């Protein structure tokens, strides 16, 4: 199956460009940081780290990968094969989500042990990472350089960090619930508290809707700016 | 016909001025067809439409019996494309690159190592692409376009930037594919390559085809039916021209041939460069 082959290739590409090595270093820093955090704050800090980094890993890596591919001029060659744009984008989201999941488990496993709900924790990481990967792809096709990308991605990603304010009990929950990332926080909070069924349904639902919406936007952006650009 | 194009018009999104103004042409099975023209003439746009990269055109473009506007991704099982710039995943090896691209096709494919051998790259199989020379990358680019045994091959400037040895290798490879029955469409501004390779050429200027014919016919039709002889008498170099008509009975020509040291002897058919300038009023550069 072509999608599986593209996922395997993306992992090979990320490995060859030492993305995994770079992330191992980052994970080690996080583990050291968590080691120094008092036990009362450790779980919330681990959840924040999982949200802000392994989940959002796609945000930076997807942009970097696309810039490397653009620099190597590979897109024209890829899209005169039977490869569909959908397969290309889904492969990127899957390969980076997998890396996020491994990183999240390493950080969590070494600092806090097994999450209380491994399935919800994993699902939260996967859906959040794919969301940010696709967001990153939609942004990076609008830029030509790494500097331009870093500036623009902050602009696009900032609104999705608004639900973090809910951790401080600021503002109305209704407002936060409009953001897919609120769903991420709910699922990731399963590492330190039980989540009600309606919260699980809402969180998975909003993340799936968010992923579909951002996929459509990323696909359209890629089509217009890379393939027809 | 493998390719049929009628009244093709195209304007890039956001522009009011069309790039192509009503092109019509046909390309037969097993033919090598060349699009010739200066930069910006519309050659690449025409190729992009034929390979399905641009679909917002007017008119009709049929390839292998299918209108390009309605093709799906399986169209790429039947065509091979080698762009002017031989781009690959530079950190992957030659073989890894070919294996990746091969894995994207569902139909029968060639064994990459066999293709590499055919183009003389078998020793480079385990080198990273970033370690290859331009000539090697161009051959690898050609290899990639053949992986799925396409019935139509689109080659954009196939000899661009190659030294004479590598350019000759590339021309030989192209002719081998023609002999195997592949239809080949070449986009170039290299008149010499077009002359040597193409069965027919189309001159494109300002988004229009000014002329289509075989290079040989063009050269004969537009040239002078004469032969030019350069010969030496002692240390003096002399030159004379003779009509090809009944040349064997031309006593002066026969006298020169028999009694003097002939240095060069050329028929005066036109060059494609000269014909292009005459027909279009434009140079290729």
Pairing of strands B183-188, B152-156: parallel
The reported pLDDT for the residue numbered B276 is: 83
User: Are A74 and B89 within 8 A, CB to CB?
Assistant: yes
Radius of gyration of chain B measured on its C-alpha atoms: 23
Residues in chain B: 285
B128, β-bridge pairs: B93
Q: Would you call A82 and B74 a contact, using CB atoms and an 8 Å cutoff?
A: yes
Who among A16, A73, A83 is closest to B87 (CB)? A73
**Chain A residues within an 8 Å CB radius of B100:** 5, 9
Instruction: Tell me whether residues A228 and B54 touch, CB distance under 8 A.
Output: yes
Minimal CA–CA distance to B190: which of B143, B158, B216?
Answer: B158
Q: Each residue's pLDDT tens digit in chain B (285 positions)?
A: 899 999 999 998 888 889 999 999 999 999 999 999 888 889 989 999 999 999 889 999 999 999 999 999 999 999 999 998 999 999 999 999 999 999 999 999 999 999 999 888 999 999 999 999 988 999 999 999 999 999 999 999 998 878 888 888 889 989 999 999 999 999 988 888 899 999 999 999 889 999 999 998 888 888 888 999 999 998 899 999 999 989 999 999 999 999 999 999 999 988 888 888 887 776 655
pLDDT at B237: 94
φ, ψ (nearest 5 deg) of residue A93: -60, -40
Place A54 in a pLDDT band, splitting at 50, 70 and 90: low
The answer to whether residues B197 and B175 touch, using CB atoms and an 8 Å cutoff, is yes
- Nearest C-alpha of chain B: how many angstroms from A15? 10
Assess contact for B270 and B222: CB atoms under 8 A. Answer: yes
3-state secondary structure of B190: coil
Q: How far is A192 from chain B (nearest CA, A)?
A: 42
Residue B92's beta-bridge partner residues?
A: none
Q: Return the pLDDT at B234.
A: 87
- Strand B32-36 and strand B183-188: the pairing is parallel
Contacts of B76 in chain A (CB under 8 A): 80-82
Burial code (b: 16+ CB inside 10 Å, e: under 16) for A33-52 equals: ebeeeeeeebbebbbebbbe
Q: How far apart are CA B249 and CA B265, in angstroms?
A: 17
Give the single-character DSSP code of B157.
S
A133-188 pLDDT per residue, tens: 999 999 999 998 999 999 999 999 999 999 988 888 887 888 899 999 999 999 99
Distance CA A196, CA A174 (A): 17
**Cα atoms found within 13 Å of the Cα of residue B107, Cβ hemisphere only:** 15
Do B171 and B240 meet the contact criterion of CB atoms below 8 Å apart?
no
Each residue's pLDDT tens digit, A99-145: 999 888 888 888 878 888 899 999 999 999 999 999 999 999 999 89
The CATH number given to B3-78+151-219 is 3.40.50.300
If one counts the domains in chain A, the total is: 1
**How many other β-carbons are positioned within 10 Å of the β-carbon of residue A159?**
11
Q: DSSP secondary structure string, A43-112?
A: HHHHHHHHHHTTTTHHHHHHHHHHHHHHHTT-HHHHTTSS--HHHHHHHHHHHHHHHHHHHHHHHHHHHT
- Residue ranges covered by each domain of chain B: 3-78+151-219, 224-268
Distance CA B258, CA B252 (A): 10
CA distance A77 to chain B (A): 7
CA gyration radius, chain A = 18
- Domain region containing A154: 2-228
Q: What separation in angstroms does the CA of A176 have from each of A164, A180, B54, B259?
A: 9, 9, 42, 101
């Amino acid at each position: 199956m072509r999608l599986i082959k593209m996922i395997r290739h993306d992992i090979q590409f990320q490995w060859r460009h030492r993305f995994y090595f770079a992330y191992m270093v980052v994970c080690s820093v996080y583990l050291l940081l968590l080691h120094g955090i008092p036990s009362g704050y450790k779980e919330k800090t681990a959840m924040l780290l999982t949200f802000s980094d392994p989940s959002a890993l796609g945000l930076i890596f997807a942009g970097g990968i696309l810039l490397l591919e653009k620099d190597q001029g590979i897109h024209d060659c890829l899209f005169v094969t039977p490869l569909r744009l959908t397969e290309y984008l889904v492969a990127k989201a899957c390969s980076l989500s997998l890396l996020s999941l491994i990183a999240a488990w390493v950080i969590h496993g070494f600092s806090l042990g097994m999450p209380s709900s491994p399935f919800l924790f994993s699902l939260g990481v996967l859906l959040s990472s794919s969301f940010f990967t696709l967001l990153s792809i939609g942004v990076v096709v609008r830029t030509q350089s790494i500097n331009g990308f870093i500036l623009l991605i902050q602009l696009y990603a900032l609104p999705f960090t608004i639900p973090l304010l809910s951790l401080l009990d600021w503002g109305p929950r209704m407002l936060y619930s409009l953001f897919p990332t609120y769903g991420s926080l709910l699922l990731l909070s399963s590492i330190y508290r039980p989540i009600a069924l309606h919260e699980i349904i809402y969180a998975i639902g909003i993340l799936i809707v968010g992923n579909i919406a951002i996929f459509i936007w990323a696909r359209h952006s890629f089509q217009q700016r890379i393939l027809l650009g | 016909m493998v390719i049929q194009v009628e009244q093709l018009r195209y304007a890039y999104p956001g522009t009011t001025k069309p790039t192509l103004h009503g092109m019509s042409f046909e390309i037969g099975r097993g033919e090598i067809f060349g699009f010739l023209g200066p930069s910006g003439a519309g050659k690449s746009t025409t190729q992009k439409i034929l390979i399905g990269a641009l679909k917002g055109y007017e008119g009709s473009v049929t390839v292998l019996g299918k209108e390009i506007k309605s093709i799906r991704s399986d169209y790429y099982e039947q065509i091979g494309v080698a762009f002017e710039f031989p781009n690959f995943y530079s950190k992957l090896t030659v073989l890894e690159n070919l294996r990746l691209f091969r894995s994207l096709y569902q139909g029968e494919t060639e064994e990459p190592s066999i293709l590499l051998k055919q183009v003389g790259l078998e020793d480079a199989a385990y080198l990273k692409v970033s370690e290859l020379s331009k000539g090697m990358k161009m051959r690898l680019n050609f290899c990639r376009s053949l992986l799925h045994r396409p019935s139509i091959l689109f080659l954009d400037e196939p000899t661009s930037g190659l030294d004479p040895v590598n350019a000759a290798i590339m021309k030989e490879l192209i002719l081998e594919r023609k002999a195997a029955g592949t239809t080949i469409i070449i986009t170039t501004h290299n008149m010499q390559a077009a002359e040597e390779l193409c069965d027919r050429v189309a001159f494109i200027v300002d988004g229009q085809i000014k002329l289509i014919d075989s290079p040989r016919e063009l050269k004969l039709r537009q040239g002078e039916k004469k032969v030019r002889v350069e010969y030496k008498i002692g240390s003096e170099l002399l030159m004379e021209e003779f009509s090809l008509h009944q040349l064997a009975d031309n006593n002066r020509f026969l006298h020169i041939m028999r009694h003097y040291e002939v240095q060069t002897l050329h028929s005066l058919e036109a060059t494609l460069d000269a014909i292009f300038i005459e027909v279009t009023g434009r140079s290729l550069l």
